[in-house]
Chains A and B, each alone.
Chain A
Amino acid sequence: MEFDFSVIGDHARFLAYGIAITVALSVVSGLTSIVSGFGVAMLRLYGPRWLKPVVVLYIDSMRAIPVLVVIVWTFFALPIVAGLTMPPFAAALLALTIHLAAYAAEIVRAGIESVRPGQTRAALTLGMSRRQVLRRIILPQAIVRMLPAFGSLLSITIKDTAIASVIAVPELMRQSETVAGQSFQPIEVYTFAMLVYFLLLFPVTRGVDRFYRSVAHLGRS
């Protein structure tokens, strides 16, 4: 069996474009998921009572449905319902956000609930408003505690962007499929893609761990 990795060099720009799209989609959908996750968690914890069952249903549904199904549905079925067509990148971004925001919301909720209720009572006794308690007492500690979980959410996000290849988002997975199909050298191309994904993901998991260790003391109480 002979391997010829020159196929990677021949398609370097094409594959580099894929890596750029993977990184862009990961960063943007990571951010939108965390921001919307905060919103969802706030609704679940402090929102109007009638809304809570809806939020819980949304979160648990996303835990029950595969991300592939959400992506495919958003790209092919949502335009029929909503009457608007979306480019693949936007559809992938929307689907990943809908899916991952549910996980982010659970992380935020767990972080907030991990701050002992005694602290809230003490702050209320000192005359702070509920809003002030959240902003000054709870969130500063809770956000630090959420960091490790957000780190694994980010690595899940990067892995999930590969699934966007099924709706032809030109990210690394899709570009690799194209090159593999054209060159008839799938082994070299997919092995290269594996290496790139590993090199993208491993520093993220390790970097977040290291960063957390340096700030963990801020979250202790």
Chain B
Amino acid sequence: MTLDWSVVWTHRDALVEATGTTILLAAATMAIALPCGACIAALRLYAWSPIRTIAACYVEFFRNLPLILVVYWAFYVLPILTGLGLSPFLTGLAALALNVTAYNAETFRAGINSIRRGQVEAAMALGMSRPQALRRIVIPQALRRILPVLTSTWVSLFKDTSLVSVIAVTELAYVAMQVRAQTFRVLEMLSAMAVIYWLLGYPQAKLVDWIQRRYAVSE
């Protein structure tokens, strides 16, 4: 077995660019999924009951589907539904956003629900209106509990961006596997891909541990 690691160095530009795409994809997904997740959670908690049911169905549906299937589905169905040809990047972004929005909605809902009802009742007894109680009492406490969960969703999302490689989004996994196919340096390229993901993901996982320790809630 002869190994030639120089193949990784020769393709460094492509790998760096692909890593940039991976990070951009994860950041863009989170930027969409945070406000959308908050909206869905609000609908699930406070909206008119048929709408509440629809929001609950959306969340349960996407939490119970493999992401890779959603990616394929978006690739074939979105162009027909919307009538416009989306680029692979935007299709992947849409699939990831649909998925992460569902998870975030559940996180927000659980966070709000974790604040005992008595606190809202106490706030209203002191003369606050319901929206005031929500804004001043519930949300500040809920955010502390939501933040650690959101950070671990971020780490999962960062890894899940690799799945959009199946629809040829030029992110890290796709580019590394392309180079592997062109150069036949299988072990070198696949190991380089794993190492790059590790270098990016390991500090994030450690940071999440730290945040979870720091924001640990004990009653």
Q: Which residues of A contact B (CB under 8 A)?
A: 1, 60-61, 63-70, 72-73, 76-77, 80-81, 155, 158-163, 165-166, 173, 176-177, 180, 186-187, 190-191, 193-194, 197-198, 201-202, 205
Contacts and interface: CB of A to CB of B under 8 A. Distances in A.
Interface stretch (B9-17, B34-42, B137-145, B201-209): B201-209
B128 interface: no
A65 B65 contact: no
Contact of A186 (B66, B76, B173): B76
Most A Cβ at <10 Å: residue of B186, B190, B191:
B190
Contacts of A81: 187
5 contacts: A69-B190, A69-B193, A73-B191, A190-B72, A194-B69
Contacts of A180: 76
A159 B67 contact: yes
| Chain A binding surface SS class | helix
Given A1-B80, A66-B160, A190-B73, A77 B198 contact: no
Contacts, number: 114
Contact count band on B: 35 or more
A61 B65 CA distance: 25
Contact of A63 (B61, B155, B190, B193): B155
Given A64-B205, A73-B191, A187 B80 contact: yes
B76 A65 contact: no
A65 B194 contact: yes
Contacts of A205: 64
B186 A80 contact: yes
Contact of A194 (B73, B159, B190, B197): B73
Contacts of B163: 66, 68, 163
B112 interface: no
Nearest to B177: A72
B68 interface: yes
A77 B76 contact: no
Given A66-B160, A80-B187, A202-B60, A162 B69 contact: yes
Contact of A173 (B61, B66, B160, B177): B66
B162 interface: yes
B165 interface: yes
B194 A198 contact: no
B198 A64 contact: yes
B73 A191 contact: yes
B80 A197 contact: no
B186 A77 contact: yes
B194 A69 contact: yes
Contacts of B204: 64
